[in-house]
Structure 1
Amino acid sequence: MATFTTDTAPQTAPGGEMAVPETRVRWSVPVALFSCVLLAFFDKISIAALFTDPHFQQAMGIDFDTTRLGLLMSAFLLSYGFSSVFLSSLGDKISPVKLLSAMMVSWCVLMVLMGLSHNYSVMIALRILLGIAEGPLLSLAYTIVRRTFPARLQARATMMWLLGTPIGAAIGFPLSIWLLNSFGWQSTFFVMALLTLPVLILVRIGLRHIPHLATGPGATSQQARRSARHMLMRNPHFWLICLFNIAFLTYLWGINGWLPGYLIKGKGIHLEHAGLLSSLPFIAMLLGEVTGAWLSDKSGRRAVACFISMAGAALGLFAVLHLSSPLAVIAAMSFSTFMWGAGAPNIFALLSRATPPEASATAGGIFNGLGNFAGALSPAVMGLLIAYSHSMDAGLLFLVMAAALSCVLLLPLLKRY
Structure 2
Amino acid sequence: MTTTTASSQSSAPAAETPDDVQNTGIKRWAIPFALLCCVILSFFDKISIAVLLSSPAFQGALGVEGETTKLGFLMTGFLLSYGFSSMFLGFLSDIISPKKCLYAMLVLTAVIMTIMGFAESYAQMLTLRIVLGIAEGPMFAIAYTIVKRTFAQREQARATMLWLLGTPIGASIGFPFTIYILDNFGWRTTFFAMALLTIPLLLLVVCVFRKVDVSTKSPLQKERGDKHVPLASHRQSTRELFSNLSFWAICIFNIAFLAYLWGLNSWLPTYLVEDKGIDLDSAGIFSSLPFLAMLIGEVVGAFISDRIDKRALMCALSLFGAGFGLLLVLSIDASNIAMISAMSFSAMCWGVGAPNIFALLAKATPSKVSATAGGILNGFGNFSGALTPVIIGALIASTGNMTAGLLFMAVLAFAGGAVLLPLVRRY
Corresponding residue to 2:249 among 240, 246, 257 = 240
Partner of 2:148: 146
Which residue identity does 1:286 align to in structure 2? Answer: L
Could you tell me how far apart the structure 2 residues matched to 1:68 and 1:404 are? 36
Shift of residue 345 of structure 1? Answer: 1.1
Shift of residue 352 of structure 1? Answer: 1.2
Could you tell me how far apart the structure 1 residues matched to 2:80 and 2:273 are? 27
Whether contact under 8 Å (2:94, 2:369) holds in the other structure is: no
Partner of 2:300: 291
Change (3 A) 1:82 1:287: same
Which residue identity does 1:153 align to in structure 2? Answer: E
Q: Is 1:312 paired with 2:321?
A: yes
Whether contact under 8 Å (1:88, 1:136) holds in the other structure is: yes
Larger Rg: 2
Could you tell me how far apart the structure 2 residues matched to 1:242 and 1:83 are? 17
Corresponding residue to 1:78 among 77, 80, 96 = 80
Partner of 1:3: none
Change (3 A) 1:76 1:220: closer
Partner of 1:88: 90
Corresponding residue to 2:130 among 112, 128, 131 = 128
Could you tell me how far apart the structure 2 residues matched to 1:413 and 1:286 are? 26
Shift of residue 300 of structure 1? Answer: 1.0
Change (3 A) 1:372 1:173: same
Change (3 A) 1:183 1:144: same
Corresponding residue to 1:155 among 127, 146, 157 = 157
More displaced stretch, 250-259 vs 261-270: 261-270
Partner of 1:102: 104
Could you tell me how far apart the structure 2 residues matched to 1:262 and 1:176 are? 26
The two structures have a TM-score, normalised by structure 1, of 0.81
Could you tell me how far apart the structure 2 residues matched to 1:262 and 1:114 are? 35
Whether contact under 8 Å (2:90, 2:375) holds in the other structure is: yes
Shift of residue 138 of structure 1? Answer: 0.7
User: Residue 12 of structure 1: SS of its match in structure 2?
Assistant: helix
Could you tell me how far apart the structure 2 residues matched to 1:190 and 1:257 are? 28
Partner of 2:354: 344
More displaced stretch, 90-99 vs 291-300: 90-99
Partner of 1:20: 19
Could you tell me how far apart the structure 2 residues matched to 1:308 and 1:416 are? 16
Which residue identity does 1:415 align to in structure 2? Answer: R
Change (3 A) 1:55 1:261: farther
Partner of 2:34: 32
Partner of 2:3: none
Which residue identity does 1:29 align to in structure 2? Answer: I
Could you tell me how far apart the structure 2 residues matched to 1:110 and 1:29 are? 25
Which residue identity does 2:9 align to in structure 1? Answer: T
Could you tell me how far apart the structure 2 residues matched to 1:394 and 1:69 are? 29
Shift of residue 125 of structure 1? Answer: 4.2
Q: Can you give the 5+ residue segments of structure 1 that lack an aligned partner in the other structure?
A: 1-8
Change (3 A) 1:344 1:358: same
User: Residue 211 of structure 1: SS of its match in structure 2?
Assistant: coil
Partner of 1:370: 380
Q: Is 1:356 paired with 2:358?
A: no
The two structures have a TM-score, normalised by structure 2, of 0.79
More displaced stretch, 397-406 vs 153-162: 397-406
Partner of 1:196: 198
Could you tell me how far apart the structure 1 residues matched to 2:413 and 2:216 are? 37
Shift of residue 54 of structure 1? Answer: 7.9
Shift of residue 146 of structure 1? Answer: 1.0
Partner of 1:169: 171
Deviations 1:251-307 (A, max 9, x none): 223333444555556655555555554443322222111110110111111111001
Deviations 1:180-220 (A, max 9, x none): 78888777666544533332332222222233636797955
The alignment yields a C-alpha RMSD, in angstroms, of 3.8
User: Residue 88 of structure 1: SS of its match in structure 2?
Assistant: coil
Corresponding residue to 1:44 among 46, 52, 59 = 46
Shift of residue 165 of structure 1? Answer: 1.6
Could you tell me how far apart the structure 1 residues matched to 2:188 and 2:405 are? 28
Could you tell me how far apart the structure 1 residues matched to 2:65 and 2:409 are? 26
Could you tell me how far apart the structure 1 residues matched to 2:215 and 2:346 are? 37
Which residue identity does 2:265 align to in structure 1? Answer: N
User: Residue 19 of structure 1: SS of its match in structure 2?
Assistant: coil
More displaced stretch, 133-142 vs 255-264: 255-264
Q: Identity of aligned pairs, percent? A: 53
Could you tell me how far apart the structure 2 residues matched to 1:377 and 1:244 are? 16
More displaced stretch, 363-372 vs 396-405: 396-405
Could you tell me how far apart the structure 2 residues matched to 1:112 and 1:258 are? 33
User: Residue 101 of structure 2: SS of its match in structure 1?
Assistant: helix
